[in-house]
Structure 1
C-alpha cells in the first residue's frame, strides 16, 4: 500500500467559541503524527461490540507499509468486533502530541505481507513471530498461540498539542 499524505486543517474556526488556537501556524505536520505512532510503546484500540457498546483495550502497534498495524489473538473480543465491524479508533499519547486516529481495520492473510509486518514487530519489540498458513504464531510459547495482524487504514485523525491549546485534524483521501 502506498502511503498517502492527508490534508491538515484546523479543528476549530475563528467563529467557534473555543480556547483552542485558530492560528494556521499551529497546524501539526502529519510526519509528526506518524512519528508518534511509530515510536509509541503501546496504543489503545476502540472497537464496537455487536450490540453497539464500545470496547477499548491496549495493543502493540507498528508502522509498516505506510499505515499503522496492530496485533491481537483471533479469539479476542477486539478481533471478533473487527470481524463484524472494521471501524475502529486508535489513541496514542506521545511526547509532543496526543493522537486519535479513526479508521478501518483489515486482517492481513498474505504471507509476504505478514512476514514484512512480523519483521516490523521484531524490530520494534524484539518479538519473534512465525508466519504460516496465512496466520502468525509465537512458537516460543507452549501451544504456539496464533495472532492476527490488522492494518488500520486511517480515515481521519486528530492531533492535540500537549499545551491544550492547539489541535489539528487530518482528512485522508
Structure 2
C-alpha cells in the first residue's frame, strides 16, 4: 500500500504550478480543427508575462487549428502531478514578437526562430488552471477561473 502525501493547500498548489511554468521546458498541447479533428503534440515553451509562448511551423495542425477556435488545452507535469490549462491562443509572427519575449524564448530554449518565415510563435493566455496529484487533491483543484487566480481555500461548492 502506498502512503499518499497530504493534500496541498491551494496556495501551495499555485506555487507548484508557477514553478512548473518557470522551470519546465515542454508541454502537451491539444487543439481541434474546425471539423473537430483533435491534435495533441508536445511543444517547448517559456512562461512569458503570464502567457505560455511556444513555436511551430505555420503549416502544422496545431498552428492551423488555432485560427478557427482560438482555444487550446495544455498539460504540464507527470500524471501524478498534473497541471491542466485551458487557454485562448493567438499566432504571433516573429517580426511582431516583442524583443523581450523573443529573447526569453531563445535564452530558455537555446532556439531563436525570429526571422524564419515558415515558423510562427503561439501565445497561450490561460483562463482556467487546475492542478492535482492524487484523489485527495481533486477537491479544490481549480486554481484559476476566468483568467484570475483563486484565493484562499476551496469553498464547499468546489468540493
The TM-score with structure 2 as length reference comes to 0.74
Asked if 1:102 corresponds to 2:102, the answer is no
* Corresponding residue number in structure 1 for 2:103: 119
Instruction: Output the aligned Cα RMSD.
Output: 2.4
**TM superposition shift of 1:147:** 1.5
- Equivalents in 1 of 2:114, 2:45: separation in Å? 18
- Give 4+ residue runs of structure 1 displaced > 4 Å after superposition: none
* Corresponding residue number in structure 2 for 1:60: 44
Asked if 1:157 corresponds to 2:141, the answer is no
**TM superposition shift of 1:112:** 6.0
**TM superposition shift of 1:110:** 7.6
* Corresponding residue number in structure 2 for 1:26: 9
- Equivalents in 2 of 1:58, 1:41: separation in Å? 10
What does residue range 43-54 of structure 1 map to in structure 2 within 5 Å? 43-54=27-38
* Of 74, 82, 95, the match for 1:90: 74
- Equivalents in 2 of 1:159, 1:123: separation in Å? 27
Q: CA offsets per residue over residues 102-154 of structure 1, 9 Å max, x none?
A: 011011248463432221221111113334xxxxx2xxxxxxx6211111111
- Is the partner of 1:129 in helix, strand or coil? coil
- Equivalents in 1 of 2:29, 2:58: separation in Å? 15
Structure 2, gaps ≥5 residues long: 1-6, 149-159
**TM superposition shift of 1:60:** 0.9
Structure 1, gaps ≥5 residues long: 1-22, 132-136, 138-144
